[in-house]
Amino acid sequence: MYADQIEALKDLALPTVKILAHATFAESAEKLLTSTSGAFILVGTAYGGCLAMEVLARAPERVRGLWLMNCQPGIHPNPDAARATSRRIRAGEHERVIAEFAENAIPADDRSSRAAFIQMARDAGADLFARQSDSTLTRSDHWSTLASSKVPTLLIWGAADRFVPVDVGRRIAGVMPHARFESIDGCGHFPTLERPTRCTAIAREWLMESVLG
């Protein structure tokens, strides 16, 4: 997901990827905070972006910069759908759920990104996918967290995402007037995977101008 950024931005930062899937977003956020020390720049896509907002709400003084992509600041809009997804995964439909997710998350003409996502989801395993699906039901509403934040923020949005429309990104930018907002046409749910070079270039400029400058 972040391979290009880890390699291309290592002269500016020391990137570490963490995969968390505790029962609640609160537990995952506390685990992240206790497993690290000092201030950090926080990056999150989709599920990870929602978790990043939870961390920001709990410890804004430790977040030096915030980079969000295709995530929803509100509570889960369809809890029954999330529960159904978890049941299907645990009932042995992991492969089918992955395929459906990829179809909605990534445009059909980007076959390489779809294939990469499907392989990543397989490697992560059904249990992790189901636990993350369960924990999305515990999301808090963080619109006020974002509106009150003074942390330097970058918003990169795949404009072709069917899960979290680009209008959500624009709304976030509206409540965070100091944030930089970039939408990418033809890109879906995972900008750093689908448009790695573009995302890296935007992030480098933002880091140098807004966070490290």
Q: What is the pLDDT of residues 12-67, one digit of tens each?
A: 999 999 999 999 999 999 999 999 999 999 999 999 999 999 999 999 999 999 99
Last residue of a domain, one of 133, 155, 173: 133
For the domain that residue 55 is a member of, what is the CATH number?
3.40.50.1820
**Pair (56, 161) in one structural domain:** yes
**Pair (54, 144) in one structural domain:** yes
Q: C-alpha distances in angstroms, 76 versus 5, 87, 112?
A: 29, 17, 29
Query: Which pairing describes strands 180-184 and 153-158: parallel, antiparallel, or unpaired?
Result: parallel
**Pair (49, 9) in one structural domain:** yes
**Pair (92, 64) in one structural domain:** no
Domain membership of residue 112 as a residue range: 79-133
Average per-residue pLDDT in the chain? 96
Locus of tokens 């020390």:
37
Residue 153's SS3 state is strand
**What pLDDT is recorded for position 213?**
77
**Pair (144, 193) in one structural domain:** yes
**What pLDDT is recorded for position 108?**
95
**Pair (9, 70) in one structural domain:** yes
Instruction: Assign 177 a pLDDT band (cuts: 50, 70, 90).
Output: confident
